Amino acid sequence: MRQALSGLADLGLIRRQRGRGSVVAATPVLRRHVQRAGGLDEQAAAHGQRLRTHVLTVEPSEPPKAGIEALNTTNTWKIERVRYLDDLPVAFMRTWVPRDFFPHFTAELLENASLLNLMRDHGYHPAGGPRQVQAVSSDPDLAGKLNINTREPLLLLQGVTRDALGHGLEWFNVWHSPNTVFDVDAQVTTQPGGVSQEHIRRLRTLTQQLESELSDLERGAH
């Protein structure tokens, strides 16, 4: 029994506390904002958490068709990384970046480093780009990388990051483990379905009143 509890503690599944014995450890939750491009380390730090990165591969590889269209090149690096939160794998990232922009990228350089910060160091400043999120199920490869069961639900974030000049800097797929929460700041539009006719009528009335007052002022000036 002691050996079994010790093994569970080593895996981080239970915590041993004086006076309380062994208790089930709470699973850490990764929170990120859909509308923010990058800054995942900063978002985790804001919740008192620390992310680390392990690079699996950095190799020359042509991206899929959607990646070629986003980056406008087939000469790219394929970068595969796993992000960990409290030693728990929470995201598997597969990213393609142009080799012409970043010829010196290596696994050693990217280990526990911010990819966007490295881009800035090379003179390219990420500005953002379109993203989409969809629910998918894990295949055996993803399950192994994220230490979960096959066919377990995941959240897949896909997108492209461009600089201010429109250069495609990265095209990526990020599979998030089930213990990820995406925060969205939703806003209600003031005029659902477009501008109403009543709003147009009020603007026309106000315009007519302003024109009338301006005419009176001009006559008084003469």
Which pLDDT tens digit goes with each residue over 39-65?
Answer: 677 777 777 778 889 999 999 999 999
Residue type, 104: H
pLDDT, tens digit (0-9, with 9 covering 90-100), for 57-97: 999 999 999 999 999 999 999 999 999 987 889 999 999 99
Average pLDDT over residues 15-33: 64
Average pLDDT over residues 130-157: 93
Tokens at residue 113, please?
Answer: 């480093």
Q: What's the predicted TM-score (pTM) here? A: 0.72
* Rounded-to-integer distance, Cα 216 and Cα 204, Å: 19
* Rounded-to-integer distance, Cα 205 and Cα 143, Å: 64
pLDDT, tens digit (0-9, with 9 covering 90-100), for 129-143: 999 999 999 999 999
Please provide the CATH number assigned to the domain covering 28-183.
Answer: 3.40.1410.10
- Is the pLDDT assigned to residue 192 strictly greater than 90? no
- Is the pLDDT assigned to residue 26 strictly greater than 70? no
List helix spans (H) across 30-178.
40-46, 65-71, 107-110, 115-121, 140-146
